[in-house]
Amino acid sequence: MGDLTLFVGSLNRAAPYFQGARGKGLAVFGLDETSLRVMKLAETDEVDNPSFLSVSADCKYVYTNSEVFAWREGVVSAYAFDRAAGLRYLNKQPALGSITAHNAVTRDGSKLLVVNYGMGEGGPDQSLVVFGIGPDGALTAPLASAAHRGTGPNRERQERSHAHSVLELDGGILLVADLGIDRLVRYRLGEDGSLTRLGEQHAAPGAGPRHMVSDPAGGFVFVMNELDSTVASFALGPEGELAPVDSKPAVPEAAKAGNHCADIQISPDGRFIYATNRGHDSIAIFAVDGGRLEPIGHVPCGGATPRNLALTPSGSLALSANQNADRVSIFARDAATGLLSDTGAAIEVGTPMCVKAVG
């Protein structure tokens, strides 16, 4: 048992823009990648609404955002994990903004990058925040932060900046996808955690960029646009500059009006893109060639409202966190064709929001 360790964050506090909160909080499972047997290893309800989480490369530490409606400032919590001892609380830090949406451990493991979606006015209202990670895995106080300002053409969803995710590129370059202002904002991250704003790339008006991935070779960035249900690709310059390459719809035209795109992942070999659709309740599959996107098709997500998607390190499985079906569905992936097939196996967990698979 337990070739893989899966970390799942689930809602345990109600919010008006979510459809229920039936989860316990943070749970850890062992998954045998061959037999698909699942075993719960640990669980805690101490953390509020861990809607996104990241895990250190050595699987010893997990960092969870708390996305709680009406809090003017979210928090980020650090836990140690051991298969024998389970989860152990380390500490938490204020997120310096509301609706804390995304985080990522830097490649060198020394810092945690946190993004706040932000709603309303008041509070620190920072879009991107940098925390240090101590030798024991605990978080330091914030080292630096930056705020975005502006609006977009969608008056209901783009009334202000809504930073949604952060992506680390080569050379200490960071990209922040801001759904509210239709921009990919570029920063340089200093060794001391400082942030220097370098520039920005505009997305299509009303696109609403949400999540991003880069290809393993480091030549392209692929962006999931929530509001216009598209996937866009950009070529990367030496300093992280972006040049548009391609854009393709993530759902059929007839499904576009009721759809909201969510997550995006890339296969380990960089040949295929997978993107989740809430409303259409599907996973869109694209082949990739030189940044160009070729639609292959869609597979039902195995539930409802696929908020988050993970590929296992081997690339043999895809895991869809289906928020409103109370299950993480498990798909087999064909490495040659990129196609997914539902295995019928799943992890039953209330209101899953995020899943991470660590080898």
Looking at every residue in the chain, the average pLDDT score rounds to 97
Q: Where are the domains of the chain?
A: 164-300
| Helices and strands counted in the chain (H then E) | 0, 28
Chain segment 34-54, per-residue pLDDT in tens: 999 999 999 999 999 999 999
pLDDT at residue 122 in the model: 86
For 247-282, write each residue's pLDDT tens digit: 999 999 999 999 999 999 999 999 999 999 999 999
Confidence of residue 1 (pLDDT cuts 50, 70, 90): very low
Please report which confidence band the pLDDT of residue 121 belongs to, taking 50, 70 and 90 as the band edges: confident
pLDDT band at residue 134 under the 50/70/90 scheme: very high
Q: Which fold has domain 164-300?
A: Methylamine Dehydrogenase; Chain H (2.130.10)
pLDDT, one tens digit per residue, over 163-194 is 999 999 999 999 999 999 999 999 999 999 99
Nearest to 278 by CA among 253, 249, 255, 254: 255
Residue 118 tokens read as 């932000």
How buried is 94 (Cβ within 10 angstroms: 0-12 exposed, 13-18 middle, 19+ buried)? middle
Q: Are 167 and 221 in contact (CB under 8 A)?
A: yes
**Per-residue model confidence (pLDDT) at position 133:** 98
| Rounded-to-integer distance, Cα 118 and Cα 180, Å | 10
pTM for the structure as a whole = 0.97
